[in-house]
């Protein structure tokens, strides 16, 4: 099974962009990563088992390419996230603060939280995509949630 690139672009472009942005924290780099991912798919001779297999493969490639992009000399010397957040629009102040809190999480927690909450992957599926154990995914989710909870408690002044 190997659907055309056009079909996959239409179906997955936005999800892959958000995933790439969560790693790169830069709109232009995220766009480049997504484009490179579709180019790699197009040049790939591999046949895929199912639609889920293609989606997981695309996400894995996006994550790897985004991480590679972050390791370049230019990216290590780029402007901070705060400068980019100012250019984005949000429905409310809390949405903006939540986005910033998620983006400030360490990468290993940010990726797992994104896949779980925004892409609706199960713990088992995330483990396969990231080549981790299910236990490790659960730990990262738990620690990421705790970091978010503590950060948002301070920002929003909630005392539970």
| pLDDT tens-digit readout, 29-73 | 899 999 999 999 999 888 889 989 999 999 999 999 998 987 775
State the Cα angle at 131 between 145 and 23, rounded to 5°: 55
Q: According to the model, what pLDDT value does residue 76 have?
A: 57
Residue-averaged pLDDT of the chain: 84
| pLDDT tens-digit readout, 99-116 | 778 788 998 999 998 888
| pLDDT tens-digit readout, 74-97 | 655 555 656 655 666 777 777 777
CB 13 within 8 A of CB 62: no
CB 69 within 8 A of CB 29: yes
Q: Which domains does the chain have, with CATH numbers?
A: 1-78 (1.10.1740), 84-160 (1.10.10.10)
Dihedral sign of CA atoms 95, 96, 101, 102 in order: positive
| pLDDT tens-digit readout, 107-149 | 899 999 888 877 889 999 999 999 999 999 999 999 999 999 9
Q: According to the model, what pLDDT value does residue 71 have?
A: 78
Helices assigned H by DSSP within 44-133: 51-70, 73-76, 81-85, 93-103, 107-113, 123-130
- The neighbour count for residue 90, using CB atoms within 10 Å, is 13
pTM, entire model: 0.60
């Amino acid at each position: 099974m190997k659907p055309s690139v056009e079909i996959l672009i239409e179906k997955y472009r936005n999800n892959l962009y958000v995933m790439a942005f969560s790693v790169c924290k830069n709109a232009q780099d995220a766009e480049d990563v997504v484009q490179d991912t579709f180019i790699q798919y197009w040049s790939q001779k591999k046949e895929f088992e199912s639609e889920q297999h293609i989606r997981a493969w695309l996400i894995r490639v996006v994550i790897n390419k985004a991480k590679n992009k972050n390791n370049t000399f230019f990216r290590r010397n780029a402007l901070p996230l705060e400068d980019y957040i100012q250019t984005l629009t949000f429905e409310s102040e809390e949405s903006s603060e939540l986005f910033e809190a998620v983006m400030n999480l360490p990468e290993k927690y940010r990726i797992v939280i994104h896949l779980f909450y925004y892409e609706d992957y199960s713990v088992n599926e995330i483990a396969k995509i990231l080549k981790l154990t299910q236990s490790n995914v659960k730990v990262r989710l738990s620690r990421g949630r705790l970091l978010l909870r503590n950060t948002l408690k301070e920002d929003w002044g909630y005392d539970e």
